Structures are given as C-alpha cells and as structure tokens.
Structure 1
C-alpha cells in the first residue's frame, strides 16, 4: 500500500485527476490525497505495527498505527505511544449517539467507532515526551523511560483529595479509577441520568458511604478483569455436540453464525456442523450500545469481503495465526460467561445517593 502511495506521490502532476484512486490498492482519504498531491513520500516503519487493537467489542485486530495512514488517529498516540507502553482505559459511547449509553474497559489501541457510534477513550495514564530540552523531569513529574516517554497519572491530586476527604486516607488513585467504572455500570445511575447521558459526558456521584465506595471500586476491578481478560476466562458450558471424523480446522471454521430462533436466542448456529445450545437469558442482558456482547460476536466473526478493496476479512485467519482451531467457538462461550458474570456483578451494586 505504501509503495503504491509513493508511486502516486512521485508521478502525479498536482491534480486529483492524475492520481490513480484504485480502491483495491489504498483507501484514499482526503488527508492522504493532499499529501500525495504535494509529492510527500512515506516509508514503512516496522515499529508502527501493533499486534493488537480493539476494533469492536471483543474483536481484536492487528493494526499499522501511523499518523499518516490512520487519517484521524486522535489522541491514541499519547495513550499507546509505542508497542512497549501498556495502558488501561474505558471507551464511553459519545453523547448524542443513536445507541444507548455503554462503556468497555480496554488495554489496547481502541477504535474511535468502537460501538459503530463514536466513542471517547478515558485512559488510566497518558504518555508524553519531555519538552524542556531533553530534561528527565518536568511539570508533570516522573522520569522518562528508555523510549523517551514519561507516564502522567490521569487521576489528579485534586480529585484524590476530594475522595480521601470523603472516604478516608486509604483511598488510592486506582480505587477511584475502578470506582468510576463500577458506577457507570449501575442500572440505577443509567436510568436516573438516561436523558443527560444522551447530551453530555457522565458526571460521577460520590457513594453514600465508605463501604459503598469500596464495593463499587471492587466491582469495577472485577468488571475490568472480565472485560479485558475475556480471552482467559473459563468458557461457559454451552451445549456443544460435534460430529466425529471432521478435520478440526474445518469443524470449527466460521462463515457466519446466526440464531436458530431470533425470538428466543437460546441456540446459536455456529456452522453446518455445530449448534451451541442452552444460552442463558442473562447473556442477552449485557448490552454494549445497540447490541449484546454475543451479537457483536456474530456481527464481527464472519467471512466478509469489502466491496471497495476486495479484501476478504476472514476471522478464521486469526485462529490460525494463534494456532487455535477452537478460538472462535471458545470465544463465544467465554463472552457468554463474561456477559452472565457482568450482569450478576451489576445486580450487586449498592444504591447511589442521587436525590
């Protein structure tokens, strides 16, 4: 793609008509067209390859993270500046979205349209380079690491003072971060502020007591562990009956999953060999925007050809790259468990003093 772009940058005569806008070679965004018309060439930078990004809920993809070829990278470069910098944050569906309010904790590059509707990412940390002539210390504090970045805590000392004054000196900044994640899952909170959440970013109320604060914070941690570590949770024991004698790569290959009955959603036709049954009703209660977690899985894990580029997106390739023929079928079971456990945790959250 970059080679084709450079060819166009070097051979055009300054008019768009002279560019070969072949969509099978490159997606010609306005920014990329402008750079090509100005004769600006680019180089492939291996360090821009990231093995993991979160494209849609519970859908990971590799990405070439680049300030030119990702036309609107937003602030992601300050959250995940290099493959060596970890982070944790939650993507909140933006106000004004068509879909209901939702959020999801992530530990990799997030897509700006995580829920198809736009999302705003709230990271635990931000990374910055020193601006004072290479000094290792600056106003933000901290020492620059071996890649030249220092980590900035996004939980301010001022807000820590508010929480410690209310809930005691033992409150940490991590406690506050996970408290917020817990509160934003509260059914009471979402119902009380449904209209406000359509118009603005959420405001976070203080818990009624120290005990409730810690309950919310612990719930936020458990939810975070589930939502980030979904590939490691124990698969939910859905009923699975498979034929004997079929090659495992063929047996677990997905083309397009679908519900056996769209009304009951108790059985998921995985492929022509396997149907997953006994899907609990709670699995459908965990919603992320306009879809349940399982419905996101059905939508994304299918073989699909992009009309413009002709590129075939085959999720089975991800399974092969990870040498795990059961990756997708076990993912369906794991996301079922994540959904069920999320609903159960949310139902244990304390009442907030909203009056």
Structure 2
C-alpha cells in the first residue's frame, strides 16, 4: 500500500497501529517523508515529496503479511526512513535502485506500550518525572496526587474567530450584536416551522456576512435558546504570542470554553491569576511555553494546554490553589526546604520548560505527552529565573522600550503611526513600519527567542496588520485611535523582552 505516512507516529493513530500489529504477522514500512505541512528545520528534513512535490502529505510504502501458522499475538514491525533533506528525484532513484523491499536496510522497531513504532529520540526517564497534569487527576479519579497541577485546560476555541475576536472593541461589539440578532431571528423562525422533514442546514440563514454557524450553535437553535449581549463578556485574550485581542467570551458563541470559566471567570481575576501555556500533544512545531494572565486562544501556541495557578467558581468566588498539596510536599521533601511555596513551584516549572537541554533532549516525549518535570539540582536558581520570565512575559506591554532602535522618517511626509502591514528587511535588522517610518537597529539576538517557528518579534509583525476576513468581510484593524504609538512602542518593548528572555534562559542552571 502507498499511503499518507501520518499513521506512523500520529497520536490519533495509536489504536490503528495497535490493531494492525494484532491483525498481521509482519509489517514492513518505507518512510519516504516529504510532509510539507511542517515548518522550520523539520520541514527541511522532510525533503521533497516523492510524487514530484505535487502533494503536501508525507508518503510511505507499507507491506502487511499475515501467516496462518503464526502464534504471535503481535506483529514484527520493520521500518526504514529515507535520509533527511532528500529531493523528490533522489527518493525516486532510491526506490528504483532498491528494486525489492528485501534490498531496503530495514530495522525492527521496538514498539512501546503506547503502540509507538518510531521510538527513536524518546527517553524512558521522562516517564519517571512528575507530570504537570494528567487526565485522571483532572477527572478527580482518586486523590489529586502524583501530579503538580490538579486541573488544566485547552485554550478556548470559538470556531468563529472573525466574529468573536477583534483588536477593536467597538467593532467586536457591533459584529457580535449583529450575529446575535440574526441568530435570535432564526431561533424564532425555527420555532414556528412544523414540518419534521425540514433540514436545519437548508433552513437557516447561510450568508457568511451575517452569521457564522457551528454545530454547537445549531444545537442551541434546535433547543430554542436565545442569546443576549452582555458588555462584561468582552474580555482580553491572548490570541497569538504577544498579540492580545478583544474576545466575546460566551458559552454559546465560543464553541469550546473548556475549563476557562473556572480559571479566568471575570476580568478582575486577571489581576491575581497566571496561566502557564504550553504547546500541546501532537504539535508539529518545537515545544514552547508562555505565561499569561488573560484567556488564551487554543492556537495562541499550538494545540495550547494551560496550567493555572488558581481556579474558582464561575462567579469568581472560592479561589483554590491549583498546585497539589502532594506536589508541595514532594518538592519540600526532595530539597529539604520548607520555605518552598506553590508560587515557587509554579515559577520553577516555567523556567525548566524553557531550558534548552530539556526541550532538545525530550523533544519527542513532549510531542506525545504533556510535560513531566524533573528535580533539578538548583531549585532556587530555576524558581527565581521562572519568576523573572513570568513577570517579563505577562507584563510585556509595560516592558522598557529597546533603546538601540533607530527611527528613520521619510522626508516631507506627515507623522504617521498607522500600520497596514509591516515588512522586515532580508537581514532582519530593519523593519518597514509604513511609508513614513522605518525602524533600524534590530539586534539579531532578538530572533533567538522563538515560540514555535517564529520569534516573538515576528509574531508581533505577523499579527499587527489590517486584515479583512474573506468570508464575512469583517475588518480587523490593530491601530488604536487613543494610543497611536502603541504598535511601534510594542515592537521596541518586545525586542527588550526577547533579549532579556534569551539572557535569562542562557543563564539557567544545568539540569
């Protein structure tokens, strides 16, 4: 079989690999790589696609053998992956020269308990570290022990970002109120129809310029639920790294709120709570983490998973520390130090998640599991660094502006802080802000602070531009009437944050 090779290591295919191993005696697979849906160094390693780069998915050739006389309960799995960086023609030549699968130097895979075939790069000791969180602890199966955080949550998922996110609060309010009006009209119309044969999808208003439907919203319509606009539901959200937007945070218009009504239930809670966000299981990009005090989008990192310090009732009462008493006791016992607090553990976690050795060594483990935290020798070195990093990242909008940035103004033009779309120079030391202004003197070290496949500064440049949603026609304009210098100042602040982050990370104690 010639197939998409995503089943080789995809978490969603764990069950498929299990059953293939049960159903066959031997499995041979040649991984031809070529997955264009990756980025950075991983994308370069994938090389060209064997089908002359005409498709974007990775490709593999599988041979499944079943012997009737075999008594084995699980198959032998034999794998071969072509070299990194090969072009399409080189892969085609490899197949031609091989002639037969028996001429391919395959190696028998050591399949683990999770039915992982590609186990190269995994480190068994990772599983001996303390998990930041588990589904069992989250579901309160037994006592909240053997984990650091009692609960965690994915970032929120709206399924209608163009409608419920916007840089401009007034624009967001108008968009949401318009959609609510259309929705409530459809609720009333649906209630009046009597035929059971009417198809809801055909019945409702389908103009993308008026409303964005989702399965959840349609179910609410079937139930006859109406929506009311409340201004207090307009919240600040971390949409992407170092890019906050206004969000209309409502259970009916936000398709998946997950645990966030109990993590950041009101705006006031943002003054005291913090959330460590990490890239989630199955991420294609390198592991990254970011702390915030606002509601994060599920795509703020990649498949974002969030670990809060506090949890609450949904009205903001009954504040509870989310780090387990068990974890506090474990840390105090291990380090023989009863002065350690839960905030210290929170910050220790955050710093350790930034450690280059941790990220590199456990790269493969972090793609298949939430972080597990080891006991480093120097607890306080990590805890203090983590506190610095958290303060820097949560309060990035008030960070000092980088003083080495030089403003080059176009002669004869009026002062103009309005942004349409910014562009970096090839060497990335200059930023074309607009026709009036170019910023010069961006230090190359600022790009060393990366979140996924972009640096923090590149995330700002990517997000702070005027966008028009193709389907709805909604305009998302980051320019602020009341703070015309906000974006240009943000650039200078994020450069400072980036340089300071790199400095702190480079100074972390050894693991």
- TM-score grouping bracket, smaller chain normalisation: 0.7 to 0.9
- Separation (CA, whole Å) in 2 of partners of 1:162 and 1:197: 23
Does 2:506 align with 1:340?
A: no
Q: Provide the residue aligned with 1:7 in structure 2.
A: 185
Q: CA RMSD in A?
A: 1.5
- Quote the offset at 1:331 in angstroms: 0.5
Which structure ranks higher in relative contact order (CA pairs < 8 Å, sequence separation ≥ 6)? 1
Q: 1:40 aligns with which of 201, 206, 225?
A: 225
- Quote the offset at 1:244 in angstroms: 6.4
Q: Provide the residue aligned with 2:298 in structure 1.
A: 112
Does 2:371 align with 1:202?
A: yes
Q: Provide the residue aligned with 1:161 in structure 2.
A: 329
Q: Answer whether contact 1:128 1:152 (CA < 8 A) is retained.
A: no
Structure 1, gaps ≥5 residues long: 130-146
- Separation (CA, whole Å) in 2 of partners of 1:233 and 1:148: 29
- Separation (CA, whole Å) in 1 of partners of 2:447 and 2:464: 18
Structure 1 residue ranges (4+ consecutive) displaced by more than 6 angstroms after TM superposition: none
Q: 2:454 aligns with which of 291, 294, 307?
A: 291
Q: Provide the residue aligned with 2:429 in structure 1.
A: 266
Structure 2, gaps ≥5 residues long: 1-178
Q: 1:328 aligns with which of 484, 487, 491?
A: 487
Q: Answer whether contact 1:15 1:37 (CA < 8 A) is retained.
A: no
Q: 2:399 aligns with which of 222, 225, 233?
A: 233
Based on CA coordinates, which of the two structures has the bigger radius of gyration?
2
- Quote the offset at 1:67 in angstroms: 0.5
CA pair 148-271 structure 1, distance change in 2 beyond 3 A: closer
**1:6-44 Cα deviation digits (max 9, x unpaired):** 001111335321111221122111111222233322222
- Separation (CA, whole Å) in 1 of partners of 2:268 and 2:297: 19
- Quote the offset at 1:272 in angstroms: 1.2
- Separation (CA, whole Å) in 1 of partners of 2:507 and 2:352: 12
The 3-state SS of whatever aligns with 1:128 is: coil
Q: Provide the residue aligned with 2:85 in structure 1.
A: none
**1:327-348 Cα deviation digits (max 9, x unpaired):** 0011011111111110010000
- Separation (CA, whole Å) in 1 of partners of 2:394 and 2:316: 27
Q: Number of matched residues?
A: 322
The two structures have a TM-score, normalised by structure 2, of 0.61
- Quote the offset at 1:247 in angstroms: 4.7
- Separation (CA, whole Å) in 2 of partners of 1:199 and 1:335: 31
- Separation (CA, whole Å) in 1 of partners of 2:199 and 2:230: 28
Superposition pairs of residues 1-355 of structure 1, within 5 angstroms? 1-12=179-190, 13=193, 15-16=199-200, 17-50=202-235, 52-86=236-270, 87-115=273-301, 117-128=302-313, 147=315, 149-167=317-335, 168-208=337-377, 212-237=378-403, 238-243=405-410, 246-248=413-415, 251-261=416-426, 264-316=427-479, 319-320=480-481, 323-352=482-511
- Separation (CA, whole Å) in 1 of partners of 2:259 and 2:299: 14
**1:25-70 Cα deviation digits (max 9, x unpaired):** 22111111222233322222233222x1111111111111101000
The two structures have a TM-score, normalised by structure 1, of 0.87
CA pair 160-119 structure 1, distance change in 2 beyond 3 A: same
The 3-state SS of whatever aligns with 2:237 is: strand
